[in-house]
């Protein structure tokens, strides 16, 4: 597991090297728009910082997955995803206080970690063409779990003030 995480952080720029084919990444382009659900909810409720972070996260993610190569787009997506995760993690810790929301949020966090890890693991094991749940499906569920937690955090902020 340490090696997978290390390789994921230390990505090289090789713009001609394809990370994944369009037949797989088109699903991730679509699932990147899951982040817009909590963004729209936040904008609707007059929040701006977190929705702008989500808008940028969506744009960087879509931009990478539309043509997934080992390029500056990949580094930008991965870097901003980590920044976004940190911002939401801190806001979740500060603003989520209802027991039901805490349970939901931590359950979602377990889903985030599991799906991200399984996405990396199955990608590294080249399970692209098997009939089992392939790497991009795990990554789609990862996007869904992230958006779910973002919605809980934004809703907690909206209901707090």
Pair 49, 160: CB distance under 8 Å:
no
Pair 27, 85: CB distance under 8 Å:
no
When pLDDT is averaged across residues 82-106 and rounded to a whole number, the result is 97
Pair 31, 139: CB distance under 8 Å:
yes
Q: How much is the pLDDT for 72?
A: 94
3-state secondary structure of 5: helix
Q: Count of CB atoms within 10 A of residue 33's CB?
A: 14
Residue 10's pLDDT band (boundaries 50, 70, 90)? low
Which of 7-16, 66-75, 120-129 has the least mean pLDDT? 7-16
Q: What is the largest CA-CA distance in the chain?
A: 49
Q: How much is the pLDDT for 5?
A: 52
When pLDDT is averaged across residues 72-89 and rounded to a whole number, the result is 96
Residue 114, pLDDT > 60, answer yes
16-59 tens-digit pLDDT? 899 999 999 999 999 999 999 999 999 999 999 999 999 999 99
Residue 1, pLDDT > 70, answer no
When pLDDT is averaged across residues 66-94 and rounded to a whole number, the result is 96
Residue 133, pLDDT > 70, answer no
Q: How much is the pLDDT for 3?
A: 56
Residue 128, pLDDT > 70, answer no
Q: How much is the pLDDT for 123?
A: 87
When pLDDT is averaged across residues 53-81 and rounded to a whole number, the result is 96
């Amino acid at each position: 597991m340490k090696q997978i995480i290390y390789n994921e952080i230390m990505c090289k720029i090789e713009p001609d090297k394809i990370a994944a084919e369009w037949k797989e990444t088109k699903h991730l382009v679509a699932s990147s728009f899951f982040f817009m659900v909590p963004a729209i909810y936040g904008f609707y409720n007059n929040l701006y910082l977190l929705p702008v972070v989500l808008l940028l996260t969506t744009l960087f993610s879509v931009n990478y997955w539309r043509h997934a190569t080992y390029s500056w787009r990949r580094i930008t997506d991965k870097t901003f995803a980590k920044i976004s995760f940190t911002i939401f993690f801190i806001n979740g810790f500060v603003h989520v206080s209802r027991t039901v929301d805490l349970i939901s949020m931590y359950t979602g966090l377990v889903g985030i970690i599991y799906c991200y890890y399984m996405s990396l693991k199955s990608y590294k094991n080249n399970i692209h063409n098997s009939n089992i749940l392939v790497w991009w499906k795990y990554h789609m569920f990862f996007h869904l779990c992230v958006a779910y937690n973002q919605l809980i955090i934004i809703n907690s902020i909206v209901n707090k003030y």
